[in-house]
A and B are shown apart, each in its own frame.
Chain A
Amino acid sequence: MRYLLIALLCLLPVFAHAGEATDMAADPVLEKRMIGLAENLRCLVCQNESLASSHSGLAEDLRREVREQMQKGLSDQEIIDYLVSRYGDFVLFDPPVKKTTLVLWYGPFVLLLVGVGVLIYQLRKRKSLIAETELSAEETQRAAELLNETAELPNQPKDSQA
């Protein structure tokens, strides 16, 4: 009896199903097109969710609206334009490139260029600093001694992997 119960409990996840929020999938082709479009649109109530995955009432209404406009034969772009005219660019997960979004789109590349510039500048500076330091006669001799010492050490395996 207990094992049966455990076995049944193990089967439970089979029924657990997480999917897109669905309502009314009369025409599967249209529904697929609608979901495809809605995945790139933002739900305005729960702002980090797409219109396709949100369960909010407004998202359901908007999906219905998109579905109906598709049935009327409007193109994806026309539907997007309609929603943007109502809710602004904010409904798009990919904001369009325009004057106000230039920093958003190209800012990161500008920062990257600045970063590379600073890096090159610093490396050059360091190189010139290193070139300037020369060893004194005494230091040269000591360095040579140290190098000889290591070279003459016995029992030093040639290959550490041996």
Chain B
Amino acid sequence: MARFILPFVIFMILAIFLFVGLGLNPHEVPSPLVGKPAPAFSLPQLHEPDKQFSLQDMKGKVWLFNVWASWCTACEQEHPLFMELSRRNLVPLYGMDYKDKREDGMAWLQQHGNPYTLVVSDAEGRVGIDYGVYGVPETYLIDKQGVIRYKHIGAVTERDLSEKILPLVKELQAK
């Protein structure tokens, strides 16, 4: 009987590791940018392409930066939540239309509603690379000093918003 105990213990340890592994999402790559200054950019606005919007414009504010696109289906999932967020006026939400045609992006906002204070257009995805974007949607929380405090990969859920993002927003706004 005793000779089976050791293999059994080893088996159980392996099983626990594998079970935990099942629950992990391999697409959630931890971002090295969290805790670092947000990469500077200056991009044309989606609705007024002659006007530029840059990171400096947001100095001194805590804000959410959401990367989306009209071709992105998961963006439709989180979209109602952002509409609600913009109604509640808790934190400014800025959008970046990523690798998208300008007309498509605007049509999408027309159809679904526009929760963003302002949207910039990153048609070629260059700023996306600077921000380490590899899947849309992605959402960044940037603090008053322009440091990325949190990065969310994939559609934001109600739980993410109420348990992680909004408490962090409150904490950063109080600073």
A47 to B26, CA, bound (A): 9
A88 contacts B31, C-beta separation under 8 Å? yes
Partner of A65, one of B33, B99, B129, B133: B129
Interface residue B11 (Cβ < 8 Å from any Cβ of A): no
A86 to B41, CA, bound (A): 14
A44 to B133, CA, bound (A): 9
Known: A57-B99, A61-B124. A44 touches B29 (CB 8 A): yes
Interface residue B23 (Cβ < 8 Å from any Cβ of A): no
Q: Which residues of chain B have C-beta atoms less than 8 A from A57's C-beta?
A: 99, 125
Q: Which residues of chain A have C-beta atoms less than 8 A from B130's C-beta?
A: 86
Number of residues from B at the complex interface, CB < 8 A: 19
Number of residues from A at the complex interface, CB < 8 A: 15
B29 contacts A61, C-beta separation under 8 Å? no
Task: Flag B120-153 by CB within 8 Å of A: 1 or 0 each.
Answer: 0000111011111111000000000000000000
- Closest residue on chain A to residue B128 by CB atoms: A61
Partner of B134, one of A65, A87, A89: A87
B125 contacts A86, C-beta separation under 8 Å? no
**Sample of 4 more A-B contacts, CB < 8 Å, known A61-B124, A85-B33, A90-B30:** A47-B27, A86-B33, A87-B31, A88-B132
Q: Top 10 nearest A-B pairs by Cβ distance?
A: A44-B134, A86-B132, A88-B32, A90-B29, A61-B125, A87-B132, A65-B129, A58-B134, A88-B29, A45-B134
Q: Could you tell me which A residues sit within 8 Å of B by CB distance?
A: 44-45, 47, 57-58, 61-62, 65, 84-90
